[in-house]
């Protein structure tokens, strides 16, 4: 695989010990409609810059993993039809000199190797419903078990098997902390009924955990990261009754259409956006912005 290339801005910030936050590109290329996706990509970076934090949007362009994009790179991930690239896809893209948008797994993998310790995303991937027969589980979980990056996420999408996802994170020894919450957030909703063992109430507490992880690892890079479960503010969450109604409709539609395996989740998410009249999309953007802000605060505390 071609060596990753940090942008001059990111390289300088890392060398000088200034705060940096990684951002994934799949949320831009595959998660939002055009041209809204380009506006969001620029906005996420500006949220970080306004707080004195260097953004490191990550993608593979022409076979080279880029850690930090210039304006042209941001335009490309928003406007070009890119492959969805997880960790396993990186060498293939490199060999073919092709481009791809990085998933949570690939973004965490490349961020860790660049020396970036904080990563903001929308929602973490997880164990899919019915995984006991399909074995469908996101590579986000196993990758986070070996990449020392704090992932700030609003939980996992409620179309997934959330209790099973938390069990897998425990098995993989990935610590999960609730950011100012005692329960696991449910992506579009601020809270589930799943209690968390650990709560943190400040970015400084998260930074202290990251430093303790690093000290215990004695220089090893292949160590677990940290999931910072950051709920969307209650006033911005989707109406719970409407959320439940639309999800029930979505699962019924998938069953009626005979959708199976890995096609289920994309079908559900597309259905939910349409059935909600775009409400779920607006909530997605609100929770992503919130995660970027919290990630910025953690990166600042860590750099201090």
Just list the catalytic residues.
Answer: 24, 157
Whose CA is closest to 189, among 119, 286, 298, 268? Answer: 286
Long-range CB pairs of 42-48 (<8 Å, 24+ gap) are: 42/74, 43/289, 44/120, 44/288, 44/289, 44/292, 45/74, 47/289, 47/292, 47/293, 47/296, 48/21, 48/292, 48/295, 48/296
Q: What is the DSSP string of 43-96?
A: HHHHHHHHTT-EEEEEEEETTEEEES--HHHHHHHHHS--EEE-GGGHHHHHHH
- Using DSSP's 3-state secondary structure scheme, residue 149 falls into coil
Tokens at 217, concatenated? 């690892």
- Omega before 217 within 30 of 0, i.e. cis: no
153 has which bridge partners? 229
179 has which bridge partners? 200
Whose CA is closest to 110, among 71, 57, 177? Answer: 57
Q: How far is CA 147 from CA 18, 222, 272, in A?
A: 20, 6, 32
Q: Where are the beta strands (DSSP E) in 99-146?
A: 100-102, 118-120
Tokens at 86, concatenated? 């997880």
CA dihedral angle for residue 120, residue 125, residue 126, residue 131, rounded to 10 degrees: 180
């Amino acid at each position: 695989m071609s060596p990753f290339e940090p942008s001059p801005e990111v390289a300088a910030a890392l060398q000088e010990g200034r705060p940096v936050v990684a951002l994934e590109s799949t949320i831009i290329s595959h998660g939002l409609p055009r041209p809204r996706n380009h506006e969001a990509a620029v906005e996420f970076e500006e949220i970080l810059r306004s707080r004195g934090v260097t953004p490191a949007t990550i993608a593979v362009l022409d076979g080279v993993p880029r850690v930090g994009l210039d304006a042209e790179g941001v335009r490309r991930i928003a406007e070009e039809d890119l492959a969805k690239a997880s960790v396993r896809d990186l060498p293939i893209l490199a060999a073919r000199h092709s481009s791809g948008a990085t998933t949570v797994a690939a973004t965490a993998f490349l961020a860790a190797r660049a020396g970036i310790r904080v990563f903001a995303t929308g929602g973490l991937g997880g164990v899919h419903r019915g995984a006991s027969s399909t074995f469908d589980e996101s590579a986000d979980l196993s990758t986070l078990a070996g990449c020392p990056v704090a992932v700030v996420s609003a939980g996992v999408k409620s179309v997934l098997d959330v209790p099973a996802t938390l069990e897998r994170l425990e098995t993989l020894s990935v610590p999960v902390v609730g950011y100012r919450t005692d329960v696991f957030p449910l992506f579009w909703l601020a809270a589930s009924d799943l209690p968390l063992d650990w709560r943190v109430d400040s970015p400084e507490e998260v930074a202290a955990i990251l430093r303790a992880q690093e000290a215990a690892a004695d220089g090893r890079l292949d160590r677990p990261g940290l999931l910072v479960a950051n709920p969307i503010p209650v006033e911005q969450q989707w109406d719970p009754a409407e959320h439940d109604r639309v999800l029930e409709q979505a699962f019924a539609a998938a069953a009626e259409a005979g959708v199976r395996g890995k096609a289920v989740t994309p079908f559900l998410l597309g259905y939910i956006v349409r059935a909600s009249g775009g409400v779920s999309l607006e909530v997605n953007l609100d929770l992503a912005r919130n995660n970027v802000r919290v990630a910025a605060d953690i990166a600042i505390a860590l750099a201090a």
